[in-house]
Amino acid sequence: QQQVKQSPQSLIVQKGGISIINCAYENTAFDYFPWYQQFPGKGPALLIAIRPDVSEKKEGRFTISFNKSAKQFSLHIMDSQPGDSATYFCAASSLPGNQFYFGTGTSLTVIP
């Protein structure tokens, strides 16, 4: 059973546009929600993470929005650039030290 559901599977955005990737979860014990970015031939790398005590976290052009009541969280990439083209995974875990559950990934392509 998939613990974290991610959509869309693929996304094409014009340079300068906003990329939005959504994730949903069921387990209310989850309290740590990271996003990972993966380039071809590389392993995933942590991009940004949030805990449910805040509704939004911003780092540069990347923002996580978190809706605890809806059990949903999303990644927004503002002013998307071709260099942002990668696969993005959301994940969730119940800390401390517990297993991470990953979404199925979103392949983002930013066209010039």
Partner 1 sequence: EADIYQTPRYLVIGTGKKITLECSQTMGHDKMYWYQQDPGMELHLIHYSYGVNSTEKGDLSSESTVSRIRTEHFPLTLESARPSHTSQYLCASSEGLGLEQETQYFGPGTRLLVL
Question: Token pair for residue 27?
Answer: 């387990």
Q: Which of 26, 28, 29, 51 binds partner 1 (CB under 8 A)?
A: 51
When asked if residue 49 is in the footprint of partner 1 (CB under 8 A), the reply is yes
* Residue the block writes with tokens 């509704």: 55
Residue 78 CB, nearest approach to partner 1 (Å): 23
When asked if residue 18 is in the footprint of partner 1 (CB under 8 A), the reply is no
Going along the chain, which residue ranges are E strands? 4-7, 10-14, 19-25, 33-38, 45-50, 56-59, 62-67, 72-77, 86-92, 101-102, 106-111
**What letter would DSSP give residue 1?**
-
d(CA 82, CA 63): 18
CB-nearer residue toward partner 1: 69 or 99: 99
Name residues contacting partner 1, limited to 81-110 (CB under 8 A).
89, 93, 95-97, 99-105
When asked if residue 65 is in the footprint of partner 1 (CB under 8 A), the reply is no
CB-nearer residue toward partner 1: 14 or 27: 27
Question: Token pair for residue 40?
Answer: 């071809």
Binding site for partner 1 (CB under 8 A): 2, 4, 6, 9, 32, 34, 36, 41-46, 49, 51, 89, 93, 95-97, 99-105
